[in-house]
A and B are shown apart, each in its own frame.
Chain A
């Protein structure tokens, strides 16, 4: 059994906005083991980014008005750790790769120095040692002619190359955990596949745990071991990836999987007929009902079995498969014809 790297329990984060308090993250639980890739999926406003940013305490403090729960990282609770201690963890024990490689790199600093910075800061290397190491690191993420490119500035790199630089910097100190927040969203599809492959190989090489935040189920299905599906600040489904994609239980997860236009399968149907959709839009996080947050958009919601009067709890429907719904697929009497992600792979 590999050891637990991160154990998040009951994480809640409230944010202060002009319109009122937003319950951005509400009792979120998940665990990541050594060498495991956990994906957090959800649409905009689902709380996925606030969740991972809260792990590193990167949310602007003037915005956060309440935090609760525990974030147990290698035996210590990051939620109550001192700022000083946290900054010694960021970049050393936990690396992070953001969505937009241009705004996360310093435009007026040479690329080599940016990769060397965490080495000097956390590992106390000298400038020349760190630069030497930066060349090796850039070489590792397949930047051609790394020894010359360390003197380049970020604007001289393409989007994909910048993301490689960020990955090199984020993994420079060989962190235990790598957080990748929408790492390929800003990239073209052909580059996306390369970057995902690179993340995966870096992880395997150094045995890191990885948290991947994404709205793209295709990306998730490509590299995740387990998946947390978030909706309106809550975890609605949590299961091993293969299990989730083959046998999704929550109506929202099913809807997400079905909404993706599928290529090369039933194209007559897919192209001429209507695409499956989830009607409506997510609830307002300021005025949340004391009900299932998905009820309004759920085709199975009824008045009598509590969908609109109480919030369903997250329960383990099969070993390791958690779902928050009164109408999970395996408990429905009316059998729908659900599409699983294997459909788009069945060519």
Chain B
């Protein structure tokens, strides 16, 4: 069903391969122990079981590149992202980033590395501190890392607001005064503040309406071009990933089952799971056909 003879699958990776690699994940695994069950629920208290959320995941990311990570809920895509951002400590594996290993580095090293690696979360309602003004939200990373003085930070905040297409006076207002799409712009401005090399986008458009979703996708693309950013772009929505990513990794049950250029994965999927996923999205039309 997925065929497009007019389209030549070119070699967009060649261009990417020449670029320098910024992030290289090898053999990443993350296991969780299920919480101890209390004696009252003795039936479930047999043994503490091990949940293998991510098993032996490897991928790399070049500068200016977007790697899409797709999968359904429970596939391990967010756990992978959280390990890369070191919000979780991986059970095993290495995460090479700018000459250090994020998986094993010390706290102080991590602090320096985090300047170069930022994250934008799914829900802009819960990811922005409701008691901070937008200007403070955006300037916080600069304060934490001791960048500039009060005055230069204020100028920086105005510049960042402008970059993400928000009015200059938004800095004095509170997050609750803004819509979901605007809050996501604020979250992006905050992530950009330290001029990182890599931004992890964890379902950045999933809680937004369609018309706003495309605004955010366009913004992320423009910023990528301007700052040569690399994105690790996580989403369950295949059409959004297709619009964003140069390469796509498909995850299910904690492992990557297929990885390739966006064209390869979408036009010539190899793994059965990828096919199922694609036909579920493209197949909404089929529901109607079956009924007719």
Considering the chains assembled together, what is the distance between the CA atoms of A345 and B284 in angstroms?
10
Closest to A42 in B: B209
Binds A, one of B140-148, B191-199, B236-244: B236-244
Closest to B210 in A: A259
Which of A221, A261, A277, A279 is B239 in contact with, Cβ under 8 Å?
A261
Knowing A190-B72, A190-B280, A264-B266, say if A278 contacts B218 (CB, 8 Å).
no
Residues of A within 8 A of B214 (CB): 259-261, 275-277
Residues of B within 8 A of A40 (CB): none
Residues of B within 8 A of A215 (CB): 209-210
Closest to A189 in B: B280
Binds B, one of A7-15, A120-128, A191-199: A191-199
Most buried by A among B4, B236, B291: B291
Residues of A within 8 A of B286 (CB): 193
Knowing A190-B280, A218-B284, say if A261 contacts B243 (CB, 8 Å).
yes
Q: Which residues of B (198-250) have their CB < 8 Å from a CB of A?
A: 209-215, 217-218, 221, 236, 238-240, 242-243
- Contact between B72 and A188, CB atoms less than 8 A apart: yes
Residues of A within 8 A of B263 (CB): 267
Considering the chains assembled together, what is the distance between the CA atoms of A200 and B239 in angstroms?
24
- Contact between A43 and B277, CB atoms less than 8 A apart: no
Give the number of residues in A that approach B within 8 Å (Cβ atoms). 40
- Contact between B288 and A274, CB atoms less than 8 A apart: no
- Contact between B4 and A281, CB atoms less than 8 A apart: no
B: interface residue count bin: 35 or more
Q: Say how far A334's CB is from chain B's closest CB, in angstroms.
A: 22
Which of A43, A190, A279 is B209 in contact with, Cβ under 8 Å?
A43
- Whether A256 sits at the interface, judged by CB under 8 Å, is yes
The B contact surface, by secondary structure, is helix
Considering the chains assembled together, what is the distance between the CA atoms of A32 and B267 in angstroms?
40
Residues of A within 8 A of B213 (CB): 259
Residues of A within 8 A of B7 (CB): 267
- Whether B151 sits at the interface, judged by CB under 8 Å, is no
Residues of A within 8 A of B236 (CB): 188-189
- Contact between B291 and A256, CB atoms less than 8 A apart: no
Which of B3, B240, B262, B284 is A193 in contact with, Cβ under 8 Å?
B284
Knowing A264-B266, A264-B267, say if A189 contacts B277 (CB, 8 Å).
yes
- Contact between B285 and A345, CB atoms less than 8 A apart: yes
- Whether B179 sits at the interface, judged by CB under 8 Å, is yes
Closest to B75 in A: A188
Residues of A within 8 A of B280 (CB): 189-190, 192-193
Residues of B within 8 A of A200 (CB): 287, 291
Q: Say how far B119's CB is from chain A's closest CB, in angstroms.
A: 22
Closest to B284 in A: A222
- Whether B130 sits at the interface, judged by CB under 8 Å, is no
Knowing A200-B287, A270-B243, say if A255 contacts B281 (CB, 8 Å).
no
- Contact between A281 and B212, CB atoms less than 8 A apart: yes
- Contact between A190 and B276, CB atoms less than 8 A apart: yes
> Which 7 pairs across A and B sit closest by C-beta, in order of nearness?
A261-B243, A43-B209, A222-B284, A188-B72, A278-B211, A275-B214, A261-B239
Binding site for B on A (CB under 8 A): 43-44, 159, 188-190, 192-193, 196-197, 200, 204, 215-219, 221-223, 255-256, 259-264, 267, 270-271, 274-279, 281, 345, 347
Instruction: Supply 9 further A-B pairs (C-beta < 8 A) apart from A159-B73, A221-B285, A261-B242.
Output: A193-B284, A222-B284, A223-B287, A259-B213, A261-B239, A261-B240, A262-B239, A274-B218, A275-B218
Can you identify 19 A-B contacts, CB atoms within 8 angstroms? A43-B210, A188-B72, A189-B72, A193-B280, A197-B290, A200-B287, A255-B211, A256-B211, A259-B211, A263-B242, A264-B282, A270-B242, A274-B218, A276-B214, A277-B211, A281-B179, A281-B182, A281-B212, A347-B282
Binding site for A on B (CB under 8 A): 1-4, 7, 72-73, 179-182, 209-215, 217-218, 221, 236, 238-240, 242-243, 262-263, 266-267, 276-277, 280-288, 290-291
